[in-house]
Structures are given as structure tokens and as C-alpha cells.
């Protein structure tokens, strides 16, 4: 059983409109709703790969209830969300059919009280020992201390459970110092953390800050991994076109899937890169195309980087 | 007890954003949610005027449940909505703080099945005889026959209950022919019905088509009423500035309030004009400012039109 943590859960709503024009009235032609927040996306991909997953984080209000109803429909996912008084936020992506672009409207979401944060930590401590891995994903809601992930990482490591961190900014900086097993920053997050825009240098620097392994996601260039077992670049066989939403979450799912099934690093990276690419080409944002995944996973190029530093 | 019918109910959501930019990501700074659809707006104003109101129409899915929870919080409103399988629609108004303009996104809403429409008609027939007045408000959802209002008007008239119709297009045309007690078109609806852009001529024409009384809402020019008791123009004492959303619904509430308390026409019209103006000036769209209403209601000018036709 894998645990994914999503402190900033959301109900993701996609509206399709013929053309978005400010100050006009629009008839929405299609409405798609699904559980959102990075950890829930990771869980959905893991469940599709036949892993058992428990999800935790916060849920509240009518939107939280709807989110939980959607989760009930996902086979292989156990709902261990912690109730809060505030209402779970909605995010609305307005897809313009004419341009293919989307406009995003994100509700602020609830402020977590100290008592709610304490209740979450208690629930998390109870869940962690039974898990084969933990993923801590996404931003922190208002009210949760900026060092939250550092504490959750220490809890997992004390229980001997491997922990992956995928966040940004100060929560990432503090989290890395608590020595997570894996961090998966993208190029921007890595540059913000290290001050370097050179991927290999920045990835090595991130590792020196405390993470045991750093897997940087470099968009169409694939993944760059610096680990205790070596360094690798993993790249898809061809450039893929589509919607990158959720590609990073699919990479996280691939890394966790490979970790918990004890694959060597190159195979974990192949899985992560193939899932990412299969997510980009999927017509539904955040879903992956299983056929594309199965076709690509054997064709990812993984090359070892020889140490120069 | 007054009955308002809203076949196309909605959950109205207002998002405030600093500035709406297509294809950008926006943090919503304020979220306001409330029951929507014209008949529910009318009911809320009637309840604020201390009338007892029953609301009916359709409700479905998670959004329908949220809508009903909001209704539970409105004192004086009895929920007699009829459940359907489809989900009640959301409407989202994105308020741009910089320009004050709003961009509207309307979900399509459920398609009503023939069995659901039959169940509604049965519920309506059971409700009507106990009512002092019925208001039929707004557009028809997909699946409801275009002659729906005509049938509901005949049911009310057969029960001896006065019935007001506030809709547009073909449902208005068919409804007027069924001889409702009052129709309340705005200038555009009146012109579409009659082909005339001259308000007095068009209002008289609408009455000849079957309505016992026609009250045309002419925006800042107030109301023009052609009734069996005479013809009147009612105008606010001064031009008011603000958001006209819901002003027509407040006028309907004023007419119903005056009808059920047996006020003469000029007093009904004063109430309707004052409520309309107090809705325009209210900072919250669709709410009326009670102080402004009480200050204006004695100062509305009602002048009798001498027959020339």
C-alpha cells in the first residue's frame, strides 16, 4: 500500500466553451469534474497501474463531499482524508475550443486550524507504518506551517518508510533538509531551490542539500536522476505533443511504482518517462493513454552520466 | 402562501478576481454562492418581505443538494423542489475588480425526462390549490415541452389561483395565449412577442394576446401596466446606479406581494418599482437594500395613462 498526501486537495472542474470572451455570457458545452491536487492525481495513476493506494489530506464542505464521492468510484484507492470545517476549493479550467488554451480560476480553499493540523499529523502517524512508500505532493494550504513537509518526512523516515517529496518554494527547501528519499522538482523548482539553471549542477546541488536522490523533470527532455546508485538521463524515444497537465504527477507515480516493486533505477526512470509522455498525449488532461505507455516503456533511452563533479 | 416555479434552477456562484485575462491563471479572492434561477430570486425577496413562499422546480445531483442546503437557510421559504436524475447546473459570474464587469459561464444543466416532467406536473397540481398566487419564472430546461407554461397556467386558473408569468420567447408566446393573470416582460421580451418597440403599443398588444394584465419593465423608466382596472406608468423618483441583475425578479416579487395583500394597482406598482431600484443599488447582485426600499416606496410616481387606443 502506497500513501499519497495532498494537503491542498481540490475539485478540478473543466469547462469547454467555443471561445472565451471577457464580459460576455458563455454557454458551457461540456463539464468534466474530478478529484484534484497533485497527490490525488498520483494516486489515480498508481491505481490504474494496479497498486493499492491510500490518500490523505484535507476535505471539507459540500465540495469536499463531492470530491470524496468521486474517489469512491476509483478502484484501488482508499479514502483517508481528514475532515476540516472550511470548504475544499474548486479549480475551474475554461478550455477555449478555438485556441485550445485554457484559463484557470482557483478558489482560495480553507484555512487549516492548528487543531485540524494536529489531527492530520496524528492520522498520518497512524497510517505511515503500514505503507511501502509515502508521497508528499503539492502546495500547502493557509494555516499549515511552512515546515510541514519536513516533519512528515521525519515521521516516515523514523518508521523506515521511503518518502518522496514533490513541492516547490520554501516547503521544498525545508523538506529537502529533512533528508527525504526522493525529491522530484521540475526545472523551475530546481532553479528556485539552488539558484542554478544548469540542470546537472542544480540536481547535484539539491542532493547535497539533503535529499538521498533527486529526479529532475525537464519537460520534453525527460528526467535527470542523481542517486546513491548513480546518475542517469532518461528521455522519451520521440518528442510528444499535447497537454502537459499532470505529466509531473504521472512521473511521480512511475517512480513510486518502480520503487515499491524494487526495480533498479533505470527501469524506474523508464516507467516514469513513459507515463509522463502517455499523459501528455492523452486527450483528457491528467489521464494517461495506456496503449502509448505500454508502447513507450520499452523504448525510453536511459544513459548513465559519468561523474565529473 | 405564494408558489414560485423555477424549472431551470441553478447554483449561482460569483468569483471576484483582480483582473480577468484569458489564458492566465487567477487566484479567486472571494466566492459567493446562492440559489439561482428567477423563481428562487423572487422567493428570496418575498421571504424578506415576510411572505411565506413555497418553491418548486427541479433539483438533482451534488449541486442540487448544495442548492437545497442554501434554501434551508432562508427563513420563510419551503422547499418543494422535485428530484431529477441529472445534475442541477452551476452558473459562474467572474467579476473583474478592475473594470467592474462580469463574465458569465453557464453550465447546460440536466435534460428533464418525460417521467420527471410528469412527476413535476403532479406535484404542481397538488400544491396549487392551497396557494394565494403562483409565479412561473424563467427559461425552460431541455426536455420540458415549449408549451409547458401554458399548461401550468391552465391548472392554476382552473383552481382559481392568480398566476403571473415571467419568461421569454416561444414559452412566453404560448403562455400568454393561456390567459395568465399577469405577464411581466421586459422591453426586449415585449418587442420579441409583439414586433413593436413602442412600449405602450406593445403592452396593449400583449394584453390582446390573452394576458389579463401586462406589466412591462422598462429598466430605469420603471413600469408600464395595462390592466382591466386601468393603465399606469410608475417611475422611481430619481435615476439609480448599480447592478441591474435581479431587478426584474424583485419587481415580480413586488407585484405578487401587492396582489396577495389586495393592494390597488398603483400601490402594487410602487412596491415593484421601489424593490427594483433598491435591488439595483444593493452592493450584492440580486439582493435589495431594505433602507432604500423603505425610503423609495412612498416616493414612486404613478400616473394614470388616459386611453387613446
How confident is the model over A4-52, as pLDDT tens digits? 999 999 999 999 999 999 999 999 999 999 999 999 999 999 999 999 9
Could you tell me the pLDDT band of residue B100, with boundaries at 50, 70 and 90? confident
Place of cell 546518475: A231
Interchain contact, A23 vs B96, CB within 8 Å:
yes
Q: Is the pLDDT of residue B36 over 60?
A: yes
Could you tell me the pLDDT band of residue B189, with boundaries at 50, 70 and 90? very high
Interchain contact, B26 vs A105, CB within 8 Å:
yes
Residue B186: predicted pLDDT? 95
Query: Considering only A128-142, A283-297, B199-213, B244-258, which range has the smallest mean pLDDT?
Result: A283-297
CA-based nearest distance B31→chain A, Å: 7
What's the pLDDT tens digit per position in A274-297? 999 999 998 777 789 999 999 999
Q: Is the dihedral of CA A260, A184, A57, B107 positive or negative?
A: negative
Q: Are residues B44 and B74 in contact, defined by beta-carbon separation less than 8 angstroms?
A: yes
User: Helix, strand, or coil here: A240?
Assistant: coil
Interchain contact, A22 vs B23, CB within 8 Å:
no
Q: Please provide the average confidence, as pLDDT, over all residues in chain A.
A: 95
Interchain contact, B22 vs A23, CB within 8 Å:
no
- Joined grid coordinates for residue B150: 401554458
Residue A204: predicted pLDDT? 95
Quick check: B20 contacting A, CB < 8 Å?
yes
Quick one: how many helices (H) and strands (E) in chain A?
Answer: 10, 16
Q: Pick the more confident residue, A142 or B100.
A: A142
Residue A161: predicted pLDDT? 98
Which H or E run contains A10? strand A10-17
Residue A73: predicted pLDDT? 87
Q: Please provide the average confidence, as pLDDT, over all residues in chain B.
A: 95
Q: What is the largest CA-CA distance in chain B?
A: 59
Q: What is the rounded end-to-end Cα distance, in angstroms, of chain A?
A: 37
Residues in A closer than 8 angstroms to B24, CB to CB, are 103-104
Q: Is the pLDDT of residue B171 over 80?
A: yes
Q: Is the pLDDT of residue A155 over 70?
A: yes
Domains present along chain B, CATH in parentheses: 2-9+36-87+111-304 (3.40.1190.20)
Q: Which residues of A are catalytic?
A: 249
ipTM surpasses cut 0.85 = no
Could you tell me the pLDDT band of residue B309, with boundaries at 50, 70 and 90? very low
C-alpha span between B32 and B35 (Å, rounded): 11
Quick check: B186 contacting A, CB < 8 Å?
no
Could you tell me the pLDDT band of residue A308, with boundaries at 50, 70 and 90? low
What's the pLDDT tens digit per position in B37-88? 999 999 999 999 999 999 999 999 999 999 999 999 899 999 999 999 999 9
Q: Where are the beta strands (DSSP E) in chain B?
A: 2-6, 10-17, 25-27, 30-36, 53-59, 77-79, 82-83, 89-96, 102-106, 133-137, 163-166, 182-183, 213-217, 223-227, 230-235, 301-304
Interchain contact, B108 vs A31, CB within 8 Å:
yes
Could you tell me the pLDDT band of residue A138, with boundaries at 50, 70 and 90? very high
Residue A265: predicted pLDDT? 97
Residue A309: predicted pLDDT? 47
Residue B94: predicted pLDDT? 94
C-alpha span between A83 and A69 (Å, rounded): 14
Q: Is the pLDDT of residue B140 over 70?
A: yes
Residue A76: half-sphere exposure toward Cβ, Cα within 13 Å: 16
Q: Please state whether beta strands A25-27 and B230-235 pair in parallel, antiparallel, or not at all (unpaired).
A: unpaired
Quick check: B27 contacting A, CB < 8 Å?
yes
Q: Which of B126, B128, B138 is nearest to B58 (CA)?
A: B138
User: Helix, strand, or coil here: B35?
Assistant: strand
What's the pLDDT tens digit per position in A186-221? 999 999 999 999 999 999 999 999 999 999 999 999
CA-based nearest distance B94→chain A, Å: 9
Q: Which residue of the set B166, B249, B267, B289 is catalytic?
A: B249
What per-residue string of b and e applies to B155-191 under the rule 16 or more CB within 10 Å gives b? bbbeeebbbbbbbbeebbbbbbebebbbbbbbbebbb
Q: Which of A23, A29, A62 sits opposite B103 (nearest CB)?
A: A23
Residues in B closer than 8 angstroms to A92, CB to CB, are 92, 105
Q: Are residues A254 and A263 in contact, defined by beta-carbon separation less than 8 angstroms?
A: no
Q: Which of B23, B28, B107 sits opposite A105 (nearest CB)?
A: B28
Quick check: B62 contacting A, CB < 8 Å?
yes
Active site (annotated) includes residue B249: yes
Residue B308: predicted pLDDT? 54
- Mean pLDDT of all residues in B116-134: 98
Q: Is the pLDDT of residue B252 over 90?
A: yes
Amino acid at each position: 500500500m502506497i500513501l499519497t498526501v495532498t494537503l491542498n486537495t481540490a475539485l478540478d472542474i473543466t469547462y469547454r466553451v467555443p471561445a472565451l470572451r471577457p464580459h460576455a455570457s458563455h454557454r458551457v458545452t461540456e463539464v468534466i469534474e474530478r478529484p484534484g491536487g497533485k497527490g490525488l492525481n498520483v494516486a489515480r495513476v498508481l491505481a490504474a497501474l494496479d497498486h493499492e493506494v491510500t490518500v490523505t489530506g484535507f476535505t471539507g464542505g459540500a465540495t469536499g463531499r463531492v470530491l470524496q464521492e468521486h474517489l469512491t468510484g476509483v478502484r484501488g484507492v482508499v479514502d483517508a482524508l481528514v475532515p476540516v470545517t472550511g470548504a475544499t476549493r474548486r479549480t475551474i479550467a475554461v478550455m477555449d475550443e478555438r485556441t485550445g488554451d485554457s484559463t484557470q480560476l482557483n478558489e482560495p480553499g480553507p484555512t487549516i486550524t492548528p487543531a485540524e493540523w494536529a489531527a492530520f499529523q496524528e492520522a498520518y502517524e497512524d497510517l505511515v507504518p503500514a505503507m511501502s512508500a509515502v508521497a508528499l505532493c503539492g502546495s500547502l494550504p493557509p494555516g499549515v506551517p511552512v515546515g510541514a513537509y519536513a516533519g512528515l518526512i521525519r515521521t516516515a523516515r523514523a518508521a523506515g518508510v521511503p518518502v518522496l517529496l514533490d513541492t516547490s518554494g520554501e516547503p521544498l527547501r525545508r523538506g529537502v533538509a529533512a533528508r527525504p528519499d526522493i525529491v522530484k522538482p521540475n526545472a523551475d523548482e530546481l532553479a528556485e531551490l539552488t539558484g542554478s539553471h544548469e540542470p546537472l549542477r542544480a540536481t547535484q546541488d539539491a542532493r547535497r542539500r539533503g535529499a538521498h536522490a533527486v529526479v529532475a523533470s525537464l519537460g520534453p527532455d525527460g528526467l535527470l536522476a542523481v542517486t546513491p546508485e548513480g546518475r542517469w538521463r532518461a528521455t522519451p524515444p520521440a518528442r510528444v505533443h499535447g497537454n502537459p497537465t499532470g505529466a509531473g504527477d504521472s512521473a511521480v507515480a512511475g517512480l513510486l511504482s518502480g520503487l515499491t516493486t524494487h526495480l533498479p533505477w533505470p527501469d524506474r526512470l523508464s516507467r516514469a518517462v513513459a507515463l509522463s509522455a502517455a499523459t501528455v498525449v492523452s486527450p483528457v488532461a491528467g489521464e494517461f493513454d495506456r496503449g502509448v505507455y505500454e508502447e513507450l516503456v520499452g523504448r525510453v533511452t536511459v544513459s548513465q552520466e559519468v561523474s565529473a563533479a
